[in-house]
Amino acid sequence: MKAYLDVVKKVFEKGVKKIDRTGVGIISVPGTIFEHDMEKGYPLLTTKTVPFRLVASELECFIKGITDKKWLQERGNHIWDEWCTPLKIKYAHDEETKKKMKEERDLGPLYGWEWRHFGAEYVDYKTDYSGKGVDQLKRLVRLIKETPESRRMLVLAWNPLDIDKVVPPFCHYGFQVTVNNDKLNLMWNQRSVDVALGLPFNIASYALMLHLLAKATGYKEGKLVGFLGDTHIYLNHTEGLKEQIKREPFGLPGIVTENFTTIFEWKYTDTLVKDYEHHPRIRFEVAV
């Protein structure tokens, strides 16, 4: 997918070296834009393999407002294994703390929890939050159906009251939906962008959200746009990305969702990727 490779090239060409929270070091540019027309296919990278199962199960976790790491692990998804809420284990780099963070299952008021319970008081992953806070996602679906011309169809994860309760705090912090010419468009905002590992997942996840919202409201799929803030490449990811930008992209796959009723009853196994041709995996280490 050329739009993603263009982001990678921009960081290599215009980025500056900086220190960062993880201590690994980064090359960074102060903002860029990703754009994709969903008519051209589902934007799952083809210059390396991106595991759709992990993208989709994480999104289901978010849509359900789940904050229990074990829910993901039971579905073979380990992308949140290294993280937990600072309410339980204070974030640090030493090996003993990393071990404790990995063992703690409470992720705190994660993205989806804020989508479904914004303004509620977070206690722990076991608490029933039914009816508590603002259910932004339900409100969004209602607005798309009732007032598709609205410019107020936003869902926010960034809650200043909760930013010290999650690590890292809401890298992608909000998204907006618009409807133009019977097509549903989605624009997401991201303050911190890990180009090698995070961005391919973010692109695929919000594309899947666009797909599901379009199915839920009867619109065609339109444009996916990402407004990307601190867009960076970790120094230990440079060689892998240099290899990736040499690869010629394949045509994009499609996705099909079966047995769809509502976005709130959707399961990650309901959506399948069709005709996904890709280059071999490139391994990148997670910067914790």
Do residues 16 and 49 lie in contact, with contact meaning Cβ atoms separated by under 8 Å?
A: no
| pLDDT, tens only, 259-268 | 999 999 999 9
**One of 171, 207, 213, 255 is an active-site residue; which one?**
171
Do residues 46 and 40 lie in contact, with contact meaning Cβ atoms separated by under 8 Å?
A: no
Query: Which residue bears the tokens 């990278």?
Result: 45
| pLDDT, tens only, 63-89 | 999 999 999 999 999 999 999 999 999
Separation of alpha carbons 108 and 104, rounded Å: 11
| pLDDT, tens only, 115-131 | 999 999 999 999 999 99
How many Cβ atoms are within 10 Å of 78's Cβ, its own excluded? 12
- Judge if pTM exceeds 0.85: yes
Three-state DSSP at 16 gives strand
Q: What angle do CA 5, 80, 25 make, to 5 degrees?
A: 55
* Residues 277, 187, 58, 182, CA torsion sign: negative
End-to-end Cα, the chain, rounded Å: 27
Which pLDDT score is estimated for 2?
Answer: 93
Residue 78 DSSP code: -
Strands 154-156 and 220-234, by their bridges, are: unpaired
The separation between CA 196 and the C-alpha centre of its own chain, rounded to angstroms, equals: 13
Do residues 109 and 157 lie in contact, with contact meaning Cβ atoms separated by under 8 Å?
A: no
| pLDDT, tens only, 217-264 | 999 999 999 999 999 999 999 999 999 999 999 999 999 999 999 999
Amino acid 280 reads P
Q: Does 84 qualify as catalytic in the annotation?
A: no
Which pLDDT score is estimated for 1?
Answer: 81
Which pLDDT score is estimated for 288?
Answer: 66
Q: Which of 44, 49, 51, 59 is nearest to 268 (CA)?
A: 59
| pLDDT, tens only, 120-179 | 999 999 999 999 999 999 999 999 999 999 999 999 999 999 999 999 899 999 999 999
Do residues 214 and 2 lie in contact, with contact meaning Cβ atoms separated by under 8 Å?
A: no
| pLDDT, tens only, 178-189 | 999 999 999 999
CATH number, domain 2-67+136-274: 3.30.572.10
With a pLDDT cut of 70, the percent of the chain lying above it is 100
Which pLDDT score is estimated for 82?
Answer: 94
Paired tokens of 229: 């803030």
Specify the length of the chain in residues: 288
List Cα–Cα distances, 26 to 16, 21, 22, 23, 260, in angstroms: 8, 10, 10, 9, 42
Do residues 226 and 36 lie in contact, with contact meaning Cβ atoms separated by under 8 Å?
A: no
- Write down the H helix ranges in 172-197: none
Average pLDDT rounded to a whole number, residues 85-107: 95
